[in-house]
Amino acid sequence: MYSIELMVEEHENILKLLKVIQNACCGILEGEELLDEDFRKMISFAREYADKHHHGKEEQILFQQMTEHLGPIGVNLIQHGMLVEHDLGRLHISELEKALNQYREEPQTIYKLHALTEAMGYANLLQRHIDKENQAVYSYAEKSLLPDVLKSVDERVRLFEAKANENHVQETHLRALDELLEKYSAET
């Protein structure tokens, strides 16, 4: 199914960001500077690509169809699982930005600690979240939604993706990710 394959592919890009975050945080623990600009690029990727672009397709299309067509199990899985985790991810990113702002204003260790805590909280949450979606949620959707609903999901995802392509969403954020990967690719 096109939409599921695309979302799994996007997960691979998000997992690359999570590795960048982990490597950047480990570098700071080993004495490197907290580079504000790099962390803001990570926030931008998380907000614009992972959340607005990727989660946008999930929330507005796939998950909406699952809650509409899969009864209480679909509703519980999505509303009390996946959407809660999306909101927790947004909170981690918001708190990371707040900590960076505080650290920029007043470079105290406590604000650096808060930034590292929120960055790794986001990375750990999203790692588990992606595993659940790839291993359970997407396959449940493919097995349980009727063929016409799956076809509709694919059509709507194609339109969503086309509009994002027109606005260079993927190109812009994947280029930024490549820059971050080049800088933070060392294994830790």
| Residue 111 belongs to some domain of the structure | yes
Query: What b-and-e string marks burial along 53-76, b requiring 16 or more CB atoms within 10 Å of the CB?
Result: bbbebbeebbbebbbeebeeebee
Buried b (16+ CB within 10 A) or exposed e, 22-43: bbbbbbbeeeeebeeebbebbb
Q: Quote the CA–CA distance of 101 and 30 in Å, as a whole number.
A: 22
Residue with tokens 């918001």: 94
Residue 188 domain flag: no
In a domain, residue 26? The reply is: yes
Residue of 94, 101, 93, 100 lying closest to 28 (CA atoms): 100
Range of the structural domain that residue 55 is part of: 2-183
In a domain, 46, yes or no: yes
Please report, for the domain that includes residue 154, its CATH number: 1.20.120.520
**Residue 42: inside a domain, yes or no?**
yes
Q: Other C-beta atoms within 10 Å of 119: how many? A: 28
The total of structural domains in the chain comes to 1
Render each residue's pLDDT in the chain as its tens digit; 188 residues. Answer: 899 999 999 999 999 999 999 999 999 999 999 999 999 999 999 999 999 999 999 999 999 999 999 999 999 999 999 999 999 999 999 999 999 999 999 999 999 999 999 999 999 999 999 999 999 999 999 999 999 999 999 999 999 999 999 999 999 999 999 999 999 986 54
